Amino acid sequence: MNPIYKSLLVLCALVTLTGCLVSPVERSGGPGSTTVQNSNATAIFDASRQVFARYGYRIGPTNFPNTISFDRAAGTAGELAFGTHMRSTDFRVQIQVLRIPGSNDFRLIPRVLRVNSAGRPGFERETQMLRTWSHQMRPLMREIRDLAKNAEAPAS
């Protein structure tokens, strides 16, 4: 292989990686992500509980204020589709809540997981779904954004 070609290939790889590493938080997260302006983690948590409850989700494992999770049973068709017949299968939407530095804005980044044997500690197995599933959460993320934006800071 030609040394010039190798050098050009390394340079392209470095430029690509550098571009990925310096993307601002406001544009991070991929499909389905949204920014909640002038809010706080408590308002986002409350809004997300309201929105996901309307769509049949229940609260799942949560690491407040960094992540919020919601689970919904996949049903018989989901269990057959994912090869988990006779075992419980849930869809879990995990929302990462990132504070944007220097502002009161937060970035919500959804991630959709398939959970086998959900609710059984030690037996749960999470599998991340394709990114297009996260994109399907965009309308819910926008509802959360609309409910939680311009929230006052919680009283201490």
- Residue 94 DSSP code: E
Q: Is 35 helix (H, G, I), strand (E, B) or coil?
A: strand
Q: Is residue 16 part of a domain?
A: no
Q: Is residue 100 part of a domain?
A: yes
CA angle 68/73/77 to nearest 5° reads 140
List, for residues 80-119, the tens digit of each pLDDT value.
666 656 667 888 899 999 998 888 899 999 998 888 766 6
Bigger pLDDT: 18 vs 11: 11
Q: Is residue 3 part of a domain?
A: no
Say how far apart CA 9 and CA 27 lie, in whole Å: 27
CATH code, domain with 48? 3.30.530.50
How many domains in the chain? 1
Bigger pLDDT: 67 vs 73: 67
Q: Is residue 19 part of a domain?
A: no
Q: Is residue 85 part of a domain?
A: yes
Element (H, E) at 80: helix 75-81
Which domain covers residue 79, as residue numbers? Answer: 25-148
| Residue 48's pLDDT band (cuts 50, 70, 90) | very high
Question: Average pLDDT, stretch 32-40?
Answer: 90
